Amino acid sequence: MELIFGTIAALLPIVNPFSTAPMFLSLTEGYADAERNNQAKKGVVYMTAILLVFLVAGTFIMNFFGLSLPGMRIAGGILVSGVGMGMLKPKDSHHTKAEAKEAAEKRDISFTPLAMPSLSGPGAISVVIGMSSIAKGAWLDYVYIALGILVVATIVFFTLRSSTRLVKLLGVNGLHAMTKIMGFIILCVGVQFIVTGVLGVLTGDQIKDFIQSFEK
């Protein structure tokens, strides 16, 4: 249960469907309700697939590039903290002019820019890889983390489906307030990642070997 709730608590603020809702509405302007819901469903499916791939391949990626767990946590913490800092000063739109132009020229925006990079960007991927390192090779741990990802995906889907009512209910100021709250939570998560990574370096085998060689 700790892995399930830990995944939800770490991933949901970064995915932040509340800030994605107005972007989703602007990208699907002129779409019928059925078509907009279909785009939301496909975007969430793509997001889930991307995160599950990195969940399974996270340990392999770390071993292939020779990355240590503390180093991954510190790097992920810096990245996540940067995302949180950016969200503390939200803008009305989170997509570039090029992305908006491309979305206007095509009908399917579910994979890009919705799933990638809006929902499953570098911050979300780094969190999933960090969670995969906690699994310790036990397949049941991966199942629990995957369940947490599915819960987040479900929340994102229903938020995007209700995006029209959500924007009308909260308004621009309300959405900005929600984004700032999420940003602060993300910043705390990122700082905790960095603290855990630094403690891992200071208490790891490498620093112990260095101290022993220095004493000799």
- pLDDT tens sequence across 43-60: 999 999 999 998 888 777
Distance between CA atoms of residues 86 and 215, nearest Å: 45
Range of 4-13, 122-131, 193-202 with top mean pLDDT: 4-13
Structural domain harbouring 73: 2-215
Structural domain total, the chain: 1
Question: From the CB of residue 11, how many other CB atoms can be counted at a distance below 10 Å?
Answer: 26
- Percent of the chain exceeding pLDDT 90 equals 15
**Could you read off the pLDDT of 129-150 as tens digits, one per residue?**
878 777 766 788 899 999 999 9
Query: Which helix (H) or strand (E) element contains residue 126?
Result: helix 122-134
- In this structure, the dihedral spanned by the alpha carbons of residues 44, 130, 23 and 28, taken in order and rounded to 10 degrees, is -20
Q: Determine the straight-line distance between the first and last CA of the chain, rounded to whole angstroms.
A: 46
In this predicted structure, what is the pLDDT of residue 71? 77
Of 47, 80, 81, 18, which Cα lies nearest the Cα of 151?
47
